[in-house]
Amino acid sequence: MPYLFTSESVSEGHPDKVADQISDALLDHFLAFDPESKVACETLVTTGQVVLAGEVKSDTYLDVQNIAREVINKIGYTKGEYQFSGDSCGVISLIHEQSQDINQGVDRGAKEEQGAGDQGMMFGYATSETENYMPLALDISHKILHTLAELRREGKEISYLRPDAKAQVTLEYSDANEPQRIDTIVVSTQHDAFDEDDDKMLAKIKSDIISILIPRVKAQLPAETQKLFDDQIKYHINPTGKFVIGGPHGDTGLTGRKIIVDTYGGKGAHGGGAFSGKDPSKVDRSAAYAARHAAKNLVAAGVADEILVQVSYAIGVVEPTSIYVDTYGTSKVGLSDGEIARKVAELFDMRPFAIEDRLKLRNPIYLETAAYGHMGKQPKTITKVFESPYNGRIEKEVELFTWEKLDKVAEIKSAFNL
């Protein structure tokens, strides 16, 4: 019997995402000037205020207030009427030094013996239903909001947009777990106050979203996915009415509150640990990236059409406590999931330092992950510039989204005789 599945995304201006981006901007600056920094930065944003907290062990010193303001302004909170602006908000820093009790289990004489920064389980997931091996409903949700932000910055076709927004996509699947059509699209976007009455305002926003935004999103998708858009889609555009008050003024934001948006939109599984603000010694982040890298390469190699990889750790212990694989009955290699898991353990070194080294995670690469998902983006090399009144100016060439590279496919095919 056909069924429905839904995923959501939130924009870079959503208060929780503002917090995530500030935390990751701080992390990037610490790593740029001291790659061995140990960082766990949390951010709270609310009306006119930013609070920074967390633990750091680093040889560098940063102007954290200025970094936070730059992120806020870049997102688009630059006007007084938003009740939250990078130039006028207060920024309070409560960041302090990392506990020695934690650090003693992580730092070791030989880097290869580095222990996990915490206990827990992390998941990676991949599916063949999209070109980037991501769940389709989440992929479309991300594209809706990324495109909405482009329209906001252009300010031409839709001139009234403000930074805060959310999107949600519901797909109809067949009994064979294949997407058949888009059933529902929900978009809630913050906007300027209108002179006309609320009904006219809402009608214009709905018309612009359907006639301007959706065609732009559709054009980014492969022909097969474009066919899922039909004239029977149910649209809910700003369903609660006007949405003038938003961002941190409308809702307090905290680092790490959008972990499903950050990963697979409810597909697969999640171990519960957030990513942003954490350096790669925290396996909450690094092992989740490593598990995604493994799952994506396994699906790309043809081991299965859908794969979930779980890895778990004990704090201060080098080797993972377990590696688990679920192929959801889609395996193509004539092996049990347990047998596949044993091969995965041989193909992918999941020790914390090995992950850091393989995926080049001790680089300032994290601000780019903090909105529109940590998974599914295109790997690329860019040059980033960091300036500090205490450390001067530094340019670094870095490779983004290394965990999305399909660099293990040939090795996997050989191991599985594909």
Using alpha carbons, select from 335, 254, 226, 212 the residue that is nearest to residue 53: 254
Q: Which domains does the chain have, with CATH numbers?
A: 3-10+135-246 (3.30.300.10), 120-128+283-415 (3.30.300.10)
Q: Does pLDDT of 99 surpass 70?
A: no
What does pLDDT average to over the chain?
94
pTM, two decimal places: 0.95
Q: Does pLDDT of 108 surpass 80?
A: no
- pLDDT recorded at residue 110: 65
- pLDDT recorded at residue 367: 98
CA distance 35 to 38: 9
Known binding positions for L-methionine: 55, 98, 251, 282
The three-state secondary structure class of 299 is helix
The answer to whether 280 touches 37, Cβ cutoff 8 Å, is no
One-letter amino acid at 314 equals: A
Structure tokens at 247: 């961002």
Neighbours of 170 (CB within 10 A): 18
Q: Does pLDDT of 15 surpass 80?
A: yes
Which region among 79-83, 293-297, 408-412 has the lowest average model confidence (pLDDT)?
79-83
* Mean pLDDT across 371-388: 96
Q: Does pLDDT of 102 surpass 60?
A: no
Known binding positions: 14, 16, 42, 55, 98, 164-166, 242-243, 251, 257-258, 274, 278, 282
Instruction: Determine how β-strand 161-173 pairs with β-strand 120-127.
Output: unpaired
Q: Does pLDDT of 378 surpass 60?
A: yes
Known binding positions for Mg(2+): 16
- pLDDT recorded at residue 241: 84
Q: Does pLDDT of 118 surpass 90?
A: no
Q: Does pLDDT of 100 surpass 60?
A: no
Known binding positions for ATP: 14, 164-166, 242-243, 251, 257-258, 274, 278
- pLDDT recorded at residue 298: 98
Percent of the chain with pLDDT over 90: 86
- pLDDT recorded at residue 116: 84
Q: Model confidence over 182-215: pLDDT tens digits? A: 999 999 999 988 877 778 889 999 999 999 999 9
pLDDT band at 140 (very low <50, low <70, confident <90, very high): very high
The answer to whether 62 touches 41, Cβ cutoff 8 Å, is no
Among all chains, which residue has been given the structure tokens 């690094």? Answer: 286
